């Protein structure tokens, strides 16, 4: 009887850790630039906000909650936020995922594993020096593209978000 209960507990424990592993690995997907390019060039009526950040970047960490809040607010308005982490892939388990859990980040987080920065920075924007945080807003249907680097000036960013919001009823 005692043994049976222990086995049951063991099975339950295994089950829980498997579930946890799956839900954690779903949180941060590792992508290459090719994947990001596809997202950016995908023709859709939803505006894509690509926000570059990293757990080691102090100004990024300071303002990420603002983006998280806006991503929830604007989800219904067909604006999709994609938080692109520039952390090293080896730091996913120890740094990126704990950070996301601790700060209750529910928006989509991916980790861009493309360390030859010079090969793709210009493709995001010619004026990007490489400094993060940096943000790209794109809507190919509306033919609009806005980029800025550094922390967002919130009033200006909200204005730009409004400008990038697809018109209601437009499909």
The residues binding other proteins (CB under 8 A) are 56-59, 86, 88-91, 115-119, 121-122, 128-132, 150
CB of 112 to other proteins, least distance (A): 10
CA–CA gap between residue 108 and residue 83 (Å, rounded): 6
| Minimum separation from the CB atom of position 124 to other proteins (A) | 10
- Cα–Cα dist 11/33, whole Å: 40
CB atoms within 10 A of CB 124: 22
Task: Tell me the CA distances in angstroms from 26 to 22, 29, 67, 152, one per residue in order.
Answer: 6, 7, 20, 28
Strand order in the sheet with 79-85: 28-31, 108-112, 79-85, 47-53, 134-139, 144-149
By C-beta, is 50 or 164 nearer to other proteins? 50
Contact 117, 130 (CB under 8 A): yes
Nearer to other proteins, 56 or 147 (CB): 56
What 8-state DSSP symbol labels residue 78?
Answer: T
CB of 107 to other proteins, least distance (A): 21
Residue 108 or 114 with smaller CB distance to other proteins: 114
Q: Minimum Å distance from CB 117 to other proteins?
A: 5
Nearer CB in complex with other proteins: 90/143: 90
Nearer to other proteins, 9 or 119 (CB): 119
Min dist CB 132 to other proteins, Å, is: 7
- Reference 121, options 84, 158, 155; nearest CA is 84
């Amino acid at each position: 009887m005692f043994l049976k209960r222990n086995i049951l507990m063991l099975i339950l424990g295994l089950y829980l850790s498997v579930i946890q592993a799956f839900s954690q690995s779903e949180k941060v997907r590792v992508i290459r630039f090719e994947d990001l390019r596809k997202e950016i060039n995908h023709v859709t009526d939803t505006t894509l906000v690509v926000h570059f950040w990293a757990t080691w970047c102090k100004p990024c960490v300071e303002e990420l909650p603002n983006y998280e809040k806006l991503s929830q607010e604007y989800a219904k308005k067909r604006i999709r936020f994609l938080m692109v982490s520039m952390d090293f892939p080896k730091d996913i388990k120890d740094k990126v995922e704990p950070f996301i859990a601790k700060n209750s980040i529910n928006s989509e987080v991916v980790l861009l594993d493309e360390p030859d920065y010079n090969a793709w920075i210009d493709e995001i924007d010619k004026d990007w020096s490489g400094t993060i945080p940096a943000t790209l807003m794109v809507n190919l249907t509306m033919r609009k593209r806005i980029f800025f680097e550094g922390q967002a000036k919130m009033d200006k960013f909200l204005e730009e978000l409004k400008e990038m919001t697809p018109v209601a009823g437009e499909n």
